[in-house]
Amino acid sequence: MLVVLQRSPFLCCLSAWFLAGPSYGAAVSEEDVLGDIPMVSIASRLDQPLNRAPASVTIIDRALLDASGAQTWADVFRLVPGFQSYAVNGNRFGVSYHGFGEEFPNRLEVMVDGRSVYEPVFSAVTWSTLGINFADIDHIEIVRGSSTPSQGSNALLAAVNIVTRAPVQDSGTAISYTSGSRSTRNTTLRHNDRIGGMFYRLSLGYQHNDGFPAVTDEGPLDDGRELYQLAFRGTLTPTLYDSVEISWGFVENKEGLGDGDHPDEYLTANYDSNYQMLTWLRSQANGGAIQLRAYHNSLRVGNKDDRGLISQAFGVPPQAVQGILGIPDQQLTVGLGRVYSERYDLELEQQFSPWLGLRSVWGFGVRVEAVESELLFGHDDNIREESYRFFTHHEWALGSDWLVNAGLMLEDTHVGSLSSPRLALNYEFITNHTLRLGLGRSERAPSIAESNLDRSFKVGGLAYNALIRSGQGLGEERVEHAELAYMARFPVAGIDFDLRVFREEGRDGLDAYLEDIALPIPLFDDQIKVLANTGEWETSGVELQLSYRPLVGSLVRLNYTYLDLESDFLKYAEPTEVRSDFNNSRPRHSGSLLLAQQLTPRLGASVMSYYQSDVVWRGGNPVDEFLRIDAQLTYQFLFAGAPIKLQAIAQNLAADYAEFSRNNVFETRFYIKVEVGLP
């Protein structure tokens, strides 16, 4: 491992930061330094300290989020080892764990307060439709590694749960406004109050920006955004043992989508999404609990542009269209058209302790999903799918030092029955020093969209360009994973350390090979991608995470990842089988360092650097290595009894760099944020 570190330019950057002395950021209290180990539930569905969980978990709390100066979801996940995050367009993000740079990363489960926001029609997360403001977030729990035994198919490589602040945590009204580069204008309003026995939070948000800057000699990248969102969360406690959570929200978003290599092809898409969720929790006198959760997600996307008559688009006489294409001259339209996605989900979960030293959770759920898209599926019929799941997890304490975690997820899907087990052994060999050995196998069913793809562009019902279709007999993906982790706490020194060594073997991965086709309208000598279970990969690597609080009010947060990838996929099936690899589709080295200091009771500052080695994104372009440096300064004071927070943020104080596409140029950016609290 030392040889690996010595080869990384990131190590030189880290040394420079440490030698430069402390920088400045958000306040860190004495309780943060000397307090208990944080509790998490995402890894097993049981509340566990980090050192007793069956997998490595990263927590991004409110203070860390503020100190980072993050403006987008891509910024947030640069704080997490092993994650790749990038801007596909100015406001559309790809976030994955050990991913390959796809335009729509499809193996990461993301939840908001336990509600899955993974979109079946895109087989990915559409981050713009989450319906929450950053200010609503209490903390984020992230499982670094497969979490299929707890969250199901979509968590094949990792899982994220964004936990919003409970209504009882705040009171009154808060208004914030951010202005800065790329015509950024973001506004949020949060109001916390009580109606009878219900505590509630009402949150409104507005976002506007111009996306990435124009490309010299190629024109603008029309990927700006105009977004409105409204969210409600209410809490009722009708009895001493019962609590009820009610949440709903909607998002209306307009943003430009396109391929950065072709600025002239950008189109504006309209997103309309909404959700409703109801959760009932009953605590039992014996320490157990029963939870019933039901939710509904809905998304509609419209993206269509009229390019005029075919004759005008291709510069031929109208009468020539019939002779060349075999169809009359008519309107030519491009874009996604109408896309629709809907999900209903119902889940029952019970926690109990059958005997001393053993804690257990089990449950079952049913999910109904429906999608529509003429462009993606070749027809506008509604495609519907039902799936069922059963899960269980057991935590067994073998004395005071040894702990066994065993979990299992069984899923009944359209491709058959899936089984995802996981076993972990935790050994606290010295107080606050724990070793964990974890083994597991995870299976993922293709999404409803992946199983039904038949994407092409048509005129008069005939295809003139075909992109991708699903192969026959598409089956599940499999990942076998093993890890050895060391977690250490030095409470007096204020140090938390997490080192993870791992190996993942992916088999029957969904990948696309090229197939020659003859189109009804021969505008192109075309090929089509065929989605099939032809991909394989083996990943080994090291992840390191360190938090150090040398003084009250100081924070050093470091993460580093080394990834070694061996892969294989089918490139062409006929006339001769050709195979290739995507070994360079992940950055070999990546990591970040955040230095924060509270200078005075009112003034704090921080500096964050992020390094990524060169990479060839599979869905984008080759991207050179880059070092990005961000900084922020925060000043808080009272004015007429109202708390006011001023924040100045600078992003990318180093050289310009490209994200995902060569034309997605991230330049130096500046923002000013003002937040005012009203009683």
513-517: which pairs have CB atoms within 8 A and are 24 or more residues apart?
513/569, 513/570, 513/571, 513/572, 513/573, 514/571, 514/572, 515/572, 515/573, 515/574, 516/574, 517/466
The pLDDT tens digits for 224-258 are 999 999 999 999 999 999 999 999 999 999 999 98
- For position 354, what pLDDT does the model report? 85
CA 422 to the chain's CA centroid: 23
Counts of helices then strands in the chain (DSSP H, E): 9, 40
DSSP 37: P
Q: In the chain, what are the domains?
A: 22-678 (2.40.170.20)
Mean pLDDT of 366-384: 94
State yes or no: pLDDT of 119 exceeds 50.
yes
DSSP, res 43: T
The pLDDT of residue 36 is 62
Tell me the average pLDDT across 419-433: 97
The better pLDDT of the pair 263, 543 is held by: 543
State residue 178's pLDDT score.
98
pLDDT of the residue at 304: 79
pLDDT at 21 over 50: no
* Mean pLDDT confidence for 446-466: 85
Question: Could you read off the pLDDT of 59-86 as tens digits, one per residue?
Answer: 999 999 999 999 999 999 999 999 999 9
For 504, how many CA atoms within 13 A lie in the half-sphere containing its CB?
Answer: 28
| 551-557 mean pLDDT | 93
Residue 18 has pLDDT above 80, yes or no: no
In angstroms, rounded to a whole number, what is the distance separating the alpha carbons of residues 677 and 679? Answer: 7
27 pLDDT higher than 50: no
pLDDT of residue 610: 97
- Which tens digit of pLDDT belongs to each residue from 476-486? 999 999 999 99
pLDDT (mean) for 407-414: 97
| Residue 130 structure tokens | 């989450």
Structure tokens at 246: 């009610």
State yes or no: pLDDT of 24 exceeds 70: no
Give the count of beta carbons closer than 10 Å to the beta carbon of residue 73.
20
pLDDT band at 524 (very low <50, low <70, confident <90, very high): low
274-303 per-position pLDDT tens digit: 999 999 999 988 889 999 999 999 999 998
Between 92-106, 510-524, 661-675, the lowest mean confidence (pLDDT) is in 510-524
Q: Is the pLDDT of residue 328 over 90?
A: no
- Indicate if the pLDDT at residue 96 is higher than 60: yes
pLDDT at 62: 92
pLDDT at 274: 97
**Residue 218 predicted with pLDDT over 70:** yes
What mean pLDDT do residues 601-619 have? 95
> Residue 465: what pLDDT?
80
DSSP 219: B
- State the pLDDT at residue 10: 38
Residue 474's pLDDT is what?
Answer: 94
Q: How confident is the model at residue 7 (pLDDT cuts 50, 70, 90)?
A: very low
Question: pLDDT averaged over the chain?
Answer: 90
User: Per-residue confidence at 265, pLDDT binned at 50, 70, 90?
Assistant: confident
Average pLDDT in the 178-192 region?
Answer: 97
Per-residue tokens: 363? 């449950």
Does the pLDDT value for residue 29 go beyond 80?
Answer: no
Q: Looking at residues 131-156, what average pLDDT do you find? A: 95
